[in-house]
Structure 1
Amino acid sequence: MNIALLGYGRMGQTIEKIAVNRGHNIVLRIDKDDEGYDITKADVAIDFSIPSVAFKNISNCLNNNVPVVSGTTGWLADYDKAIALCKEKNGAFIYASNFSLGVNIFFELNKVLAKMMGNLEQYNVSMEEIHHTKKLDAPSGTAITLAEGIIENNKNYNAWKLDEGAEKTIPVVAKRIEDVPGTHTVNYKSDVDTITIEHIAHNRQGFALGAVVAAEWLVGKHGIFSMNDVLNIG
């Protein structure tokens, strides 16, 4: 399989190593300022770029009938446009805030716990995420997905807010610490106890492998998919 890497930072380089080890070819390595590249060289593109160019990268793929997997976060103001373009072009697209198998299981666990806690108003939920200092967006896309999972499954909350809470609002604390791949914690606290679920990434390998597996799965398909489709969970 010929893969285009849109974004060639640390994640892109890790994806490259895994893809090559799985027998694939990297035909394009695109940095944030590169222009005029021929995306049609690729059977599929994997976008781990930056928020300011992600939508442009995704649109270029969809306009040229190249399936695209995106793990860039912080660009979701344009997400609906990407979905509309994918439908218009009968393309293939997967966006995930996190491609790790463990994190996607954590997403489902988070939803189940949120539903269980819905009738226990004595518990207040809060969240914390920790990432490396080079991460540009805060809170992380993974944290936002977790917060949305709680809101969808627990009637006590209808919004989230960075660093502070309010009535029916989930407070999300974002910390940036050198060389932390990603830690996400969800706490339900009452006067008598605290229930905590947590996912700790030890390195970037899980994220990168998941992105490559998603790209392998997407080739030959048409539509808008999620990691639940790829992994057949949820």
Structure 2
Amino acid sequence: MNILLIGYGKMGKTIEGIAKDRGHQVPVVIDVENPLTEQSIKNQSIDVAIEFTSPEAAFENIKFCVEHNIPVVSGTTGWLDRKAEIEALCDKHKSAFFYASNYSLGVNLFFKLNEYLAKMINHYPEYSVSMEEIHHIQKKDAPSGTAITLAEGIIQEIQRKNGWVLKGEQEAAQEQFAIEAKRIENVPGTHTVTYESEIDSIEIKHTAHSRQGFALGAVVAAEWLKDKQGAFGMNDILKF
């Protein structure tokens, strides 16, 4: 499989290594010195694109792929206010788009655990909820896309909560909860959800030890997406 790699930071380089280890080719790498244009992919046979860039660049990168019928897997967070536009374009051009806030198998298991615990906590209003996420200092968006997905799971299951706020920017109203975002050197990603009452605390936590799990999941998603049509996510692969 020939992969168009869009973004060549730490994640992009890890993806490249895993893709080649799995027998794939990476004939084109897009970065700041080689932007994504028709010229940059001219005369290249591309089966699928994997996009890990920045919130500012993601939409145009993904839009280009969709409009050129290149199936695209994206893991860039911080741009999701325009995700519906991409899905509409995907339908219009009969192309394929795959998005996940996190491609790690462990994190996706954690998402389901989070929803299950929130569903139980819904019956016990004495428990308040909060979240902490820690990432490397190069991560631009806060809170992380993974934290937002966890928050959506909580809001879906706990009827007394309808939103979240970023700690330090504003105080959480009674129907909201706070997410604290920390940035520390060389931390791939740690997410902790805490429920607290006057009597005790309940805590679930996921700690990533490296980028390998994220990168492998993105390559597996690209393998799965090839020759498909539509908009997809991790649930389509994992069948939870």
Task: Provide the secondary structure at the position in 2 that maps to 1:5.
Answer: strand
CA contact (8 A) 1:156 1:168 kept: yes
* Other-structure match for 2:135: 131
1:1-234 correspondence runs (5 A): 1-32=1-32, 34-36=35-37, 37-38=40-41, 41-163=45-167, 164-233=171-240
Cα offset, 1:104, TM superposition:
0.5
Q: Which runs of 5+ in 2 are unaligned?
A: none
Measure, in 2, the Cα distance between the counterparts of 1:174 and 1:75.
Answer: 18
Measure, in 1, the Cα distance between the counterparts of 2:211 and 2:174.
Answer: 36
Cα offset, 1:162, TM superposition:
0.2
Cα offset, 1:165, TM superposition:
2.0
CA contact (8 A) 1:127 1:173 kept: yes
CA RMSD of aligned residues (A): 1.1
Task: Provide the secondary structure at the position in 1 that maps to 2:122.
Answer: helix
Cα offset, 1:32, TM superposition:
3.9
Task: Provide the secondary structure at the position in 1 that maps to 2:160.
Answer: coil
More displaced, 181-190 or 86-95?
86-95
- Across the two proteins, how many residue pairs are aligned to each other? 233
TM-score, scaled to structure 1: 0.97
CA contact (8 A) 1:32 1:50 kept: no
Measure, in 2, the Cα distance between the counterparts of 1:88 and 1:170.
Answer: 38
Task: Provide the secondary structure at the position in 2 that maps to 1:97.
Answer: coil
Measure, in 2, the Cα distance between the counterparts of 1:118 and 1:30.
Answer: 46
* Percent of aligned pairs sharing the same letter: 58
CA contact (8 A) 1:32 1:49 kept: no
Cα offset, 1:35, TM superposition:
4.2
Task: Provide the secondary structure at the position in 2 that maps to 1:41.
Answer: coil
CA contact (8 A) 1:32 1:53 kept: no
Q: Which runs of 5+ in 1 are unaligned?
A: none
Give the AA of the match of 1:6: I
CA contact (8 A) 2:36 2:61 kept: no
